[in-house]
Structure 1
Amino acid sequence: MKTPDFLFPPIGGILSWFESYDQKDANKPMGNIRLRFLLVGVLLIFSAGIVVAESVQLHIDVGLNHFYKKRYLEAFKEFKAAVEVDPKNSEAHFSLGRVYKVQGFFKEAVLEFEVALALNPSYLQARRELDQIKSSLESDVGTKLKIQGQEEATRQRDQDFPGSTPEQRAQEFLRKGQTSQAIASYEEAAKADPFNGRIRKALGFLYFNRGDLSAALKNYEDAGKLSPNDAEIVYAIGLTRMRSRDFEQAVVSFSRAAALSPDLLKAQFALGEAYEALGRFEDSAFQYKKVIAINPQSKEANNRLRELSGRMGYNYFSRGGYYYQQGDYDKAEALLSLAKQFGGLPEGQNRQIEEMLGAARYWIRKKQEATRVSDQRKEIRQQSYINKNVTVADVVGNPAPYIGNSVEWEGWAVFSDEAKGRTRYFVNTNNKVNTNSNLDFTFGILFPKDLPNDPRVSVYSQIQVKGKIVGMEKAFNNWSQTQSSRRQPIVEATEVTFTRDNYEQPLTLRYY
């Protein structure tokens, strides 16, 4: 069977040639076998070349996707992999050079562009990029001198430590206590391997110890981008911000470090210090308590909490006393309770706290009771509308089901009396009867508070009341010496309205 030439034309030609040879020399079995082995070898070579080419192109395509989306670390990894698979691929070297260039590593970029041109002299894009960098470096004298100085330093270090890498030289300098030389070597190592988080972390540490906080923060943040889940790096960023007195951002970093590693005590403790620096003492105390919960022997956390508690105790005592004097007992009670909780105050102040707490809680309970009664009376007022069809006669005839129920009644005042030091009004709901001889349709009104001194509050007024039936008793009119034949309902008013002739506006009293 003949292989289609549109797939791989050269291979198709070889197969066609082999088939024609096979037909002519069918009587030569050994030659036929040799040719078959030759064909298999050719096919394997072509297949391997195709697989390698496809793998390289895949790395390049994926890398370009990352590059155009400004994900330079991922792009660098893909282009580097493409170069490792096929070191003679000019496009891979060119793409790697572009990543170096955009990251500011011009020397490495120049090297990659030169390799791309050596492999493909007609590569115009590589030529343009190379010429642009060289032109830029020639016009920027400072950059040129800096590169030359770095190269001279590199040659000197190579003489001191022949055969070692920049990172190894940096470590050797550190062992000798030569911090400046170590930093220079680590900077060289970072340029050679720009995506090595370990090197950036070491640089951050060295710059921090030297007091160069901006350089320390930059290197720590670069390391954090490469290792975003490294709690130690995030903690170091917070420490640098703390030293720079950027307490808000320090809180953000320490909080994230503590979230990444809840057992990282130094992050928990540092978060407490950052809160304290911001004046957020409650949050700070909470953090110190968290540290103590993890390690009860933490001397620093116990000392800070003790000192902070004394300071907070006095602060809460002062604020609580102020609100107590203003009559804001809810706030006073809350703050004085915190002052008592944190402690650390003299005996005299503790005694004052107890006295103010007792008084504040008394008034709070009284206010709560008033609120409860008010809410209850509002509910009675609403329910009275439901029972507005219930009459005095209904209740007099069968009182039991109605005691405690809400009603809405109205009529004309007949007489008033006093009970438990308060005035009561009795109201007739049937204007067809003579109240001088018949009080069977009257009800009494009990007022929760003393009535105002107002001419509309009178036995000559029409009265409408909304309230709750609280009892039954016989009504007795002292003026006419008339008594009801049966017990009449007594209503505790929730809302009452007095309307009197010759007065344009009625008087409404609400007890909620």
Structure 2
Amino acid sequence: MKRTNLIVVTVIFFILCGMAGCATNGLKKERADAHLDVGKAYIQARQYTFALKELLEAEKINPRDPEIHYCLGISYHGKGLTKEAIAEFEKVVDLKPNYSNAHNYLGTIYLSIGLVDKAIGEFNKALANVLYTTPEVALYNMGRAYSQKGDYRTALTKYNEAVIKKPNTIPIPLIEKDMGIVSFKLGDVDKAIRHFRKSLEIAPEYVEPHYWLGRCYVKKGNVDGAIEEFRAVVRIAPESEFGRKARESLEAIEG
């Protein structure tokens, strides 16, 4: 009887210890999530230093939460700390290999520093997840990557796939402009003109399509059209790189 009682007491002890451990873990997660939520709010406000402060506290409490590392990556990137951002996104995909948004974000960083093949690899990993809810974003970014490589046909294919997936996720003026650029590079000037005009129908003050449309008109021998587009660039963004290029083009045309 005494032996039976001892066994019962021992079992109860371990059950209570387990319950206490669960309660402690639950409280720790709540504390970490509270810091994470505040960090996300700061990210939305683009106050990345304050976001980092909260997220680093969250990481101390729950260091294996991929979402905390994902938000840390965004915050470091927002502060221009590329190396640190890459390290955080690599932690995310190590903890959760099918975290498509992290693969996509990591790909955009690689693309921004010229590591085009690594970027394409990350976009492919994002797309490998059948549950990825925004594949059109990774497809669009792949288009940008292939365009940067000079593989304009593949770039155009990826842009078209992005549009087919979800036409309104990527801003239409942006993707029409990019499709226009690769069409221009492929020598299909008429198609490029159509894309640039579609972009400007929605965003008439968008500088880049005006500039590229001007270049298209130069190719077509439409001098008046080219002058009109280059003047629009100078009017909208005189101090920008495109403003400078437009002035140079106007000088070459008008003499």
TM-score class, shorter-chain normalisation, is: 0.5 to 0.7
In structure 2, which of residues 87, 99, 103 is the aligned counterpart of residue 169 of structure 1?
103
Q: Which amino acid aligns with 1:179?
A: V
Q: What whole-Å deviation, never above 9, does each CA across 1:200-257 have from its counterpart, x for those lacking one?
A: 1111111111122111101112223323552111100001111111111111111111
Cα deviation for residue 287 of structure 1 reads 1.1
Q: Alignment partner of 1:189: what SS?
A: helix
Q: Which amino acid aligns with 2:221?
A: G
Match of 1:190 in 2: 127
> Could you tell me how far apart the structure 2 residues matched to 1:175 and 1:213 are?
21
Cα deviation for residue 300 of structure 1 reads 1.9
- Matched residues, number: 154
In structure 1, which of residues 291, 302, 326 is the aligned counterpart of residue 247 of structure 2?
302
Match of 1:227 in 2: 167
Q: Which amino acid aligns with 2:207?
A: L
Instruction: Output aligned runs, 1:38-187, within 5 Å.
Output: 161-164=94-97, 165-172=99-106, 175=109, 178-187=115-124
Retained in 1: the 8 A contact 2:120–2:142? yes
> Could you tell me how far apart the structure 2 residues matched to 1:194 and 1:277 are?
41
Distance 1:260 1:184, change over 3 A: same
Q: Which amino acid aligns with 1:221?
A: N
> Could you tell me how far apart the structure 1 residues matched to 2:214 and 2:103 are?
39
Q: What whole-Å deviation, never above 9, does each CA across 1:339-361 have from its counterpart, x for those lacking one?
A: xxxxxxxxxxxxxxxxxxxxxxx
Structure 1 portions without partners, runs of 5+: 1-156, 311-512
Distance 1:212 1:158, change over 3 A: farther
Cα deviation for residue 269 of structure 1 reads 1.0
Q: Which amino acid aligns with 2:103?
A: R
Cα deviation for residue 307 of structure 1 reads 1.1
Retained in 2: the 8 A contact 1:167–1:186? no
> Could you tell me how far apart the structure 1 residues matched to 2:209 and 2:108 are?
27
Rg: which structure is higher? Answer: 1
Q: Which amino acid aligns with 2:245?
A: E
Q: What whole-Å deviation, never above 9, does each CA across 1:404-440 have from its counterpart, x for those lacking one?
A: xxxxxxxxxxxxxxxxxxxxxxxxxxxxxxxxxxxxx
Match of 2:40 in 1: none
Match of 2:192 in 1: 250
Q: Which amino acid aligns with 2:172?
A: D
> Could you tell me how far apart the structure 2 residues matched to 1:238 and 1:266 are?
10
Distance 1:290 1:174, change over 3 A: closer
Cα deviation for residue 184 of structure 1 reads 2.5
Computed over aligned residues only, the root mean square deviation of the Cα atoms, in angstroms, reads 2.7
Match of 1:199 in 2: 138
Distance 1:161 1:267, change over 3 A: same
In structure 2, which of residues 215, 221, 224 is the aligned counterpart of residue 282 of structure 1?
224
Q: Which amino acid aligns with 2:124?
A: E
Retained in 1: the 8 A contact 2:152–2:182? yes
Q: Which moved more, 1:294-303 or 1:169-178?
A: 169-178
Distance 1:159 1:295, change over 3 A: closer
Q: Which amino acid aligns with 1:255?
A: R
Task: Using structure 1 for the length normalisation, give the TM-score.
Answer: 0.28
The structure in which a higher percent of residues are strand is: 1
Cα deviation for residue 288 of structure 1 reads 1.3
In structure 1, which of residues 247, 260, 265 is the aligned counterpart of residue 207 of structure 2?
265
Distance 1:183 1:262, change over 3 A: same
> Could you tell me how far apart the structure 2 residues matched to 1:207 and 1:170 are?
15
Structure 2 portions without partners, runs of 5+: 1-89
Distance 1:240 1:173, change over 3 A: closer
2:159 paired with 1:214: no
> Could you tell me how far apart the structure 2 residues matched to 1:184 and 1:206 are?
10
Distance 1:169 1:279, change over 3 A: same
Cα deviation for residue 282 of structure 1 reads 1.6
Give the structure, 1 or 2, with the largest relative contact order (CA under 8 Å, sep 6 or more).
2
Q: Alignment partner of 1:262: what SS?
A: coil
Distance 1:180 1:170, change over 3 A: farther
Retained in 1: the 8 A contact 2:107–2:123? no
Cα deviation for residue 159 of structure 1 reads 11
